[in-house]
Structure 1
Amino acid sequence: MQNMIKTQGTKAYLKLAARFKLAIHLYLASALLLSLSAIAGAPLSGIHSGYSPSFSSPTILQLNDIALPAGSSFYLHDSGIISRSHYQLILQKTGRSALWFESQGLSSSGKYLYRLLDDLGWLQEKSWQNASDTYQRDILLTQGTYFLLQSTQVNNNSGNGHELPTSTLISAFNKQQEQELLYRMLPRQSQFWRLRGQLQEFRKLAALSWPTLDHSFTPELGQAHPEVRKLRFILEKYQDLDVKYQTPTRQDVFDSVAIEALKRFQLRHGLKADGKLGPNSHMALAIAPQQRVTQLQINLMRWLQLPRSFRGNEILVNIPSYQLRLLNNGRTQKTMRVIVGNKENPTPVITSAVNRLTVNPTWTPTPKIIKDDLLEEYQRDFRYLQRKDFQLVRGYWRNKEIRQIDSPDYDLLNLPDNFRLVQSAGRSNPLGRYRFNMPNGYAIFLHDTPAKWHFSKPYRALSHGCIRLEEPRFLANELLKQLPEQNKHKQTMQSALQEKHTQMLFLEEPVPVYITYHTAWIDEQGVINFNRDIYGWDNKANLIAQFKTIISNPVITLSLNNL
């Protein structure tokens, strides 16, 4: 039986490796990082970063308009994506004097590409103006096309990136299919297109004279005040307050209509919908439309790293919204709350797949958790770890050797003879009754938790990096449906739960998992939502760091610590 389990695990592992082979090309594309360096956008790291916002700095919420030095984008792109010699080769092979321009200016494909790169925040107005002639601007647009080819899925749905952008461009222009190529580079996800639509709306709002609220103002019901007029203006423009209630006699009154509008605003921004103008609501209201434009551009860019369309059963976890969605061919079958890593232990943005379900899992704490959470308790009372069902374990499977922690003299951070600290399954185990293993280089997985009360909290960045699930049993049952003789496997799972022994169940086909970081998204009612930027990743520098994290992630890695 043990050999059969190992064989099934090997098969599932090999299928996973094959499925994500092409995805690794994306992660190794250093050119993508160089391209991201030219993304336009102001830092938003002060936005929604916690429960205790500080207004000590008058510029914390002001747009910091950082312009790239003149010509910098040419240097970055020439060195990282396309050289002038490659550009000249494309012109020579296509018999053209320019790729994106006609005699009267930009071609229809050129206009489409310009708008796309502008919406993504890739194309800065200053870079465009510094490109003083058609030749330089044509190169700039071609550099943008190279970026899209390197970062999006063009010819398939199972892997990102395109290995030969020069030949792809030459082929597209020779077939007069350059506009079709541009379309095929973009996600089919409705979220991407809806966000682009919202981007245009926020650009219109950015052109308005936008009021600034006094952050110390906390109105009471029925109070009339000039600050209320500003508040109602903002809520009206964000479509949380119907314009028909903006009568001359009500424009400066904090009435029940204004309170309900404020609740809608709070709900859309991941805040407690209490209708009170507290510090967190002030912080969200103080974010001007131009900052939201930058935030939307960053979130549009993130969609380029996901499959062009979702197929079959897939799991999508969005870190800032603390939400997991179980998808079937792109349609949401189930939504549940999750708990993600705290600021000191952020959950990484990764692509992997669940290949194994463990019922009644053991837990091997990381050295950091041992140092931060367990070492002090052990030094105070060495029996503490015994009471919590910890043991010293060496080896795996049938070759496992176990020792009890019966002495205060162990160096938990440097255990001898390949022993490791392991907590047995049970009530004290923080993984609960279910663990969903997915190969990655960070020992991150989905799991149950005995601390169910945390799911009622609005702020759920509380873990050491792994993702805790509100309804793990539902997910387990859904994943087992793909197995032949699913009833038999469900009985096996139920037996393990009753008898409280550890049981592994391997999936026939690994289920893809996409852990994402979207702070802007459209809900099922078509309404724009913004989430707290809990890790401060909504700025240009940190966006680059996220892609470096993805590149450094050895997707096909089996950590024995998670067995």
Structure 2
Amino acid sequence: MKIFYSIVAFVLLMAVFSCNKKEESKEILKKPSEEVVPELKIKIDSAGISAFYKTYPKLIKFQNEVFALYKKNKSTQLWLDNKGVVEYGNTLFNKYKGLEQEGLKANFPYKEQINPVFEHTAENKLSKSDTDLMISNLYFYYVQKVSGVDEKTSRELEWLLPRKKVNYQVFSDSIYNKATISDDKKSKMFSQYYKLRDALHEYREIEKKGGWKAIQTDVDFKSFKLGDSVASIGQIRERLYVTGDLKEDTKSNICDSTLIKAIRTYELHHGLTPKNIILPEHIAELNVTVSERIKTIIANMERCRWIDPELEKGKEYIEVNIPEFRLYLIRNHDIAFVSPVVVGKTMNKTVIFSGMMNNIVFSPYWNVPPSIIKSEIKPGMAKNKNYLAQKNLEWNNGAVRQLPGKNNSLGLVKFLFPNSNNIYLHDTPAKSLFERENRAFSHGCVRVGKPRELAIELLKQDPSWTPARIDKAMHAGKENWVSLKKKVPVYIGYFTAWVDRDGNLNFYKDVYKRDDSLIKLLTEE
């Protein structure tokens, strides 16, 4: 019996112990639910937003976007939770701090307030609501910077090409969906932007290593040719090695065929006509400092921000780069045709804009602009009563025009894309101008070095226009208008730095002196 009672007592004891454990387990299970912290909810309404901009007026331009953003998010915070700034907020700050890699300065107007939020170097003195609002403004600041200066400013810089539109609503949605800017997707930007950004990184690495030394030459230096031996040649060799134009620096002071070949390549990529000698103009180009080259790259990255990436998706279009003095016909994303061009001189700048080419005119009249009639023709007529006849000109309903023919100022063909600037492409009898390095000589229109070949390419869309028929029309002496079956976009741009399709970085002279004002705009505090 004792054994029986002992067993019963043990079972009861275990039962009590088991019940106690269950109760204890229940208590343990209750604790986590009792310790759950409520989700952070910060009220950010219109009154709070208005008060924020009174305190931080330098951000007022983002007020409308920020109002709409918080209204969509039911007037609660976007960037904070119980643990602090959320992950995508930190990603944004890292992107902002990396603006220098994009050729931009990270000059947020209230960096003394925003930096402590992320860097933890000092106590964040902002309230939670103001912290969230400050980060939202940082976001729109970042979007504005990477999208380029506003359209009003770019127009003041005489850039009339279609601008890439900045849709702040799209960016607002990305914040609301917690998908702030992360890794770049190349479709977001004109592809040239990414190529120039890579070049910027390369040149900054060169700058960190000390850049390149200036090449010293004698005062009476005129040229170096094959076989010459002088210390300056060793300096040229070293300079070309730094930028990869020479694969090896042999330290030799003798001008050999390897150096001449490298100089010719360098000339090609710097808007110079390749020669077999080294001239003072080449030394001057080689001596442009790495810091100046970096500024040029940055200026052209900014221009790329203005271009809609949809532009380069077209099946066929013409692009003219003014500083390069060159025209390209792009077809199915490949270069189908290239021609040298002459552009407007400094006093008659070729306008940076676009249009749709719709007509080719063979054996054209030249309708003389009123400005030329006033400045050239009337003074000529005053001195010579036969001036009009000698220039093959005639009066036409109160205006003056030049008759078709080989001496016509427009040559034998012109290419029209209607625009308010009265700019078009055309042939010219002054063929020698295409042999010059600086080809800014026109009154504003673009003279094409290979007009016949361009006409043949453009009229491939109409098989009836054979090369023989085109030749006949060009020399007919009678004006003949031909409508293109499909209009061709024409883009006239201005790039002093450009990475070509072979990956070579090219620099061109700033013929209209546009870079300095743009660099100043980008770097001012």
Bigger CA drift: 178-187 or 298-307?
Answer: 178-187
Structure-2 separation of matches of 1:259 and 1:150: 40
Letter in structure 1 aligned against 2:408: N
How far residue 523 of structure 1 moved from its aligned partner, in angstroms, is: 2.7
1:530 aligns with 2:507: yes
State the match for 1:246 in structure 2.
Answer: 250
TM-score relative to the length of structure 1: 0.67
Structure-2 separation of matches of 1:493 and 1:514: 25
Structure-1 separation of matches of 2:394 and 2:65: 61
Letter in structure 2 aligned against 1:146: Q
TM-score relative to the length of structure 2: 0.72
Unaligned runs of 5+ in 1: 1-73, 395-418, 546-563
Matches within 5 A, 1:429-468: 429-468=408-447
Matches within 5 A, 1:44-443: 78=59, 82-84=61-63, 86-87=65-66, 89-91=68-70, 93-94=72-73, 95-98=76-79, 102=85, 107-112=90-95, 114-115=97-98, 117-124=99-106, 133=115, 134=117, 139-146=137-144, 148=146, 160-162=163-165, 164-165=167-168, 167-179=169-181, 183=185, 186-189=188-191, 191-210=192-211, 211-214=213-216, 216=218, 218=221, 220=224, 221-225=227-231, 227-243=232-248, 245-247=249-251, 250=252, 252-274=253-275, 276-308=277-309, 309-394=312-397, 419-443=398-422
Matched residue SS, 1:357: strand
Unaligned runs of 5+ in 2: 1-55, 118-130, 152-160
Q: 1:497/1:274 Cα in 2 relative to 1: closer, same or farther (>3 Å)?
A: closer
Q: Which has the higher contact order (CA 8 A, sep 6+)?
A: 1
1:517 aligns with 2:494: yes
Q: 1:272/1:507 Cα in 2 relative to 1: closer, same or farther (>3 Å)?
A: closer
1:501 aligns with 2:475: no
How far residue 235 of structure 1 moved from its aligned partner, in angstroms, is: 1.1
Structure-1 separation of matches of 2:215 and 2:466: 58
What is the Cα-based RMSD across aligned positions, in Å? Answer: 3.5
How far residue 231 of structure 1 moved from its aligned partner, in angstroms, is: 2.8
Describe the superposition over 1:172-204 as per-residue Cα deviations: whole angstroms up to 9, x where unpaired: 223344337963773353x33222111100011
Matched residue SS, 1:344: helix
CA contact (8 A) 1:150 1:161 kept: no
How far residue 163 of structure 1 moved from its aligned partner, in angstroms, is: 6.4
CA contact (8 A) 2:101 2:197 kept: yes
How far residue 458 of structure 1 moved from its aligned partner, in angstroms, is: 2.2
Q: 1:371/1:292 Cα in 2 relative to 1: closer, same or farther (>3 Å)?
A: same
How far residue 511 of structure 1 moved from its aligned partner, in angstroms, is: 0.7
Structure-2 separation of matches of 1:91 and 1:462: 55
Matched residue SS, 1:107: helix
Q: 1:287/1:140 Cα in 2 relative to 1: closer, same or farther (>3 Å)?
A: farther
Q: 1:512/1:128 Cα in 2 relative to 1: closer, same or farther (>3 Å)?
A: farther
CA contact (8 A) 1:317 1:324 kept: yes
CA contact (8 A) 1:436 1:447 kept: yes
CA contact (8 A) 2:147 2:305 kept: no
Structure-2 separation of matches of 1:363 and 1:435: 10
Letter in structure 1 aligned against 2:283: H
Structure-2 separation of matches of 1:128 and 1:159: 33
Structure-2 separation of matches of 1:543 and 1:391: 49
* Bigger proportion of residues as helix: 2
Q: 1:143/1:385 Cα in 2 relative to 1: closer, same or farther (>3 Å)?
A: same
CA contact (8 A) 1:356 1:505 kept: yes
Q: 1:109/1:422 Cα in 2 relative to 1: closer, same or farther (>3 Å)?
A: same
Structure-1 separation of matches of 2:186 and 2:262: 40
How far residue 440 of structure 1 moved from its aligned partner, in angstroms, is: 1.8
Q: What fraction of aligned residue pairs are identical, expressed as a percent?
A: 24
How far residue 500 of structure 1 moved from its aligned partner, in angstroms, is: 2.1
Matched residue SS, 2:414: strand
Q: 1:377/1:203 Cα in 2 relative to 1: closer, same or farther (>3 Å)?
A: same
